[in-house]
Structure 1
Amino acid sequence: MDQSERYYVPHGSYWPIVGAVGLFFMMLGLSAWFNGIGLMGWVAWAGVAIVLVMIVGWFATVINESETGAYSDQVGRSFRMGMTWFIISEVMFFAAFFGALFYARQLAIPWLGGEGNNFFTHLLLYPEFEAAWPTGGPEAWGGDFRIMGAGGLPAINTAILLTSGVTLTIAHHAIKEGNRKITSWGLFATILLGLVFLSLQAYEYVHAYRDLNLRLTSGIYGSTFFMLTGFHGMHVTLGALMLIVIWVRVLKGHFTTTEHFGFEGVAWYWHFVDVVWLGLYIFVYWL
């Protein structure tokens, strides 16, 4: 068989078992903690620590396999296919949340407001309801609040995230050309911009709670706002962590001009996060 077509079969690994144990302790501790058993919070943190050990150890194993030449072209194709399907699953994840926002704004609210042929339904279910966005829920259940506008911090964060996509693209072209200095600086700039984005988003949340009274309890607007921006922020956090790993690997001399899928996979993920933010900025902040 052509060496480029051989498929590497890894040896037995204990890391999946370690990860399963860590996740078990995390879920056990969190569920007990949420039900008032305060000391179980330490069990959850122990689970987090175990999962982190698993991540570091498993990453190290995969990196060592890559750097020792264990992977073939066939393995590289399977990696690309796996990353493609992973990003598709993430697209579906956010599509469900955007779908919830669309349903609330375009279907449920007009329906409850009596638009179209739903006048009698409106009188029967909720005669006091006004079909206006944003809505605070029944009788403004979450209290009066103000919406988060598209200007200011959201606009600045949009510019920051788009710029991070540019710096990452520069780093990608540089690694293809064998210019490690530009690659490392491009990655560093991308990581820094991602961390600035997260810092500004945290400040935006404080501003929303303290100054706008905008909270998760602020009707469907508040719940969809924090659900979409919060999960996106989680993805930016994961992307930044992955970029840090890739940056350290570049500094250690890993990757070549032709073999650098670890870099490419993270770059795909980061660009996906950028595109999701654009949709989020338009439909959550702007429209």
Structure 2
Amino acid sequence: MTSELLAPFRLGPRFSERIWGKPDLKPWYDSTGTSELVGEAWLTGPDCPVETGTELGKSLKDLYPEFPLLVKMLFPNDKLSVQVHPDDEQAQALGLARGKTECWYVLEAEPGSTVACGLKEGVTPEQVRTAALDGSMESLMEMVPVSVGDMVFVDAGTVHAIGPGLVLLEVQQTCDVTYRMFDYGRPRELHLEKGLAVMRTKTAAGKVAPREMDGFVRLIEQKYFVVDRFDIEGEELVSMTGPGCLVALSGEGVVIVPGEEEEVELTAGKAVVVPEGWDTVVVESLKGMSFVRCVAPV
């Protein structure tokens, strides 16, 4: 390690107003800074402010023009639109850097909560077009019951939607292109033809079973991201296989970097970015904690 390496640092969240959001996000956040409905807290968005270290006051985009992972928390109080995202090849044909493959980790779920994840067997694009226009879109989709601790994979091209009563941690490629195919009559722009052009009738989307590893639980391992959950008392040596971040889910702790004097506080609802070059960091729990490690494989 050299002193020239950028040390791990904490980011403050950026809140996004959404028509399907909530008036407050407690207990995760005491305040959102707005009286409007908020649906998303971006934890590694380009405009998220650096809260610690030598780069204090800058934004993530000042340090990373394109950080490889966009990590969010979603707070739906109503149904999200039925939507789809392009894959890398489709996005690049449109002049974009990458597509959008994502995953959702369920942090809170009211009884009966569901997500829509893909189309039913045999559904055709023409049926999707008709259903989007006549309001029967939900009847064509696979409705998946979810509960706390579930991980759902949503690869690009999957027609999907999220229901109310959930709090989700979303990890995705850094891309914000969404084609809204059906929106329950709400007065927002639709992108039906663009959505039909990039959707696939069969995808790999669905629930992912967790895997017990040595000292942690692997929630998902895909081409674009790996997400692991740690439940610790005391100290834990955490390896990093690529640029990524740590996000506390419960409890409190600190991130200790070998050779660095400053400790970075790790609290629920905020991300600590671990830049390239740090093979390991130490996470010390104050009274027991749970956190996730999100990395972009190199």
- Bigger fraction of residues in strand: 2
TM-score, normalised on structure 2?
0.25
TM-score, normalised on structure 1?
0.25
